[in-house]
Structure 1
């Protein structure tokens, strides 16, 4: 049976039971937990250094009120990065290639930033819909445009993450298929294609980490506007 290239993005199931929750929970088992000893091992020290520097960089431009989000956004960053990276391994499934999951993460967090802004600083939050110094005839048009751009934000968050990961995985599968097909016929071309595949895999590892960072960075910028 010939499978479609897009079958790899289908949600896996066993005996009719979806395995998405298992795919979401397994990466957390790989993270080391700090011990009660005076000195941690190298892996735990590296993890603590990464979390500390990431949190400091993300929340340095945000005022004190937004620091309550540090634990949630840092955990989200680690979850997205681990899911994206583990999805590059053979015989694995990447939950973040599902638009429904990404929108389920983007919409509530974006909505929470909007609600916080409307509750704490209503005038400032509504003032973002109208740039300062706008001519009077353009006020209704700009308010409509800014409102549309505001509601497009969660869609852009979810679609960006889904599209980048899906495109990268699909390109890897296409090039790997070409490598296998060309191997019996043109070995030299197949080796060149395999080299391209190796470089693309390295690039996809970088994309997996960058997209997780961009997702959380944009959420922190939305939070910065509303606190």
Structure 2
């Protein structure tokens, strides 16, 4: 029975074709494309206002050199937010519960920030490995610690997104499986459990949105250190 709880995190296949590709491409179909008209409908206007407000909030601490990443970061935010939210629907699959996918997103973005820092301002990029005013005896130790923390960043990005979504989905599955059993024995407890499940689902929606924002925000902070 315990293995059945984790079956929801295995990538589904149909006729030997992994459906994770469909799950990653399907969200883009749901977004309306802006037109060249002077006036758009309410949905496109609301979508544009959301994108503009989020972009302004995200790139406020960055200088002009980092603003060229606005389109990439905004696309990443919409992608993560879409697949996280759609994964909460019945008979769907959440690709971001796969550590391989999250690491495939985290490592290239982190590596891009490091390469940009080493190319544009190598002195400042290497200066982050040794804080100013460090005693001479602690210099080798601090360099090792800061180097390890630098290489742990992409792992933390990927594991954070995977762990939060996996834990929420698993908890919802555990509580939902207990409701039919309690319904036949203890109806009041089953009703209380159903209420908890409803509140947990709302919390999981918030977690799906927050984790997408946190992922992009941390990448932008890494970019801020190197531009």
| TM-score normalized with structure 2 length | 0.98
Distance in 2 (CA, whole Å) between partners of 1:86 and 1:108 is 25
Q: Which residue of 2 aligns with 1:26?
A: 26
- Asked if 1:211 corresponds to 2:208, the answer is no
Matched residues in 2 for 1:37 and 1:151: separation? 47
The alignment covers a number of residue pairs equal to: 227
Counterpart in the other structure of 1:86 = 86
CA–CA distance in structure 2, aligned partners of residues 62 and 36 of structure 1: 30
Alignment of 1:60-99 (within 5 A): 60-99=60-99
Deviations along 1:144-172, one digit per CA (max 9) or x if unpaired, are 00000000000000000000000000000
Aligned pairs for 1:177-216 within 5 A: 177-216=177-216
**Structure 1, gaps ≥5 residues long:** none
Query: Would you identify which runs of 4 or more consecutive aligned residues in structure 1 move more than 2 Å?
Result: 35-38
Q: SS of 1:226's equivalent?
A: coil
The structural deviation recorded for 1:184 is 1.3
**Separation in structure 2 between the aligned mates of residue 98 and residue 3 of structure 1, nearest angstrom:** 17
Q: In the aligned structure 1, how far is the partner of 2:6 from the partner of 2:148?
A: 32
Q: Tell me how far apart the structure 1 counterparts of residues 24 and 89 of structure 2 sit (CA, whole Å).
A: 15
CA distance in 2, matches of 1:198, 1:50: 27
Q: Does residue 1:54 correspond to 2:54, yes or no? A: yes
Deviation at residue 32 of structure 1 after TM alignment = 1.1
User: CA separation in 1, counterparts of 2:185 and 2:36?
Assistant: 59
Distance in 2 between the 1:160 and 1:3 partners? 23
Q: CA deviation at 1:34?
A: 1.2
Q: Which residue of 2 aligns with 1:141?
A: 141
Residues of 2 paired with 1:43 and 1:150: CA distance? Answer: 41
| TM-score normalized by the length of structure 1 | 0.98
Instruction: List runs of 5+ in structure 2 lacking aligned partners.
Output: none
Residue aligning to 2:173: 173
Give the Å deviation of 1:3: 5.6
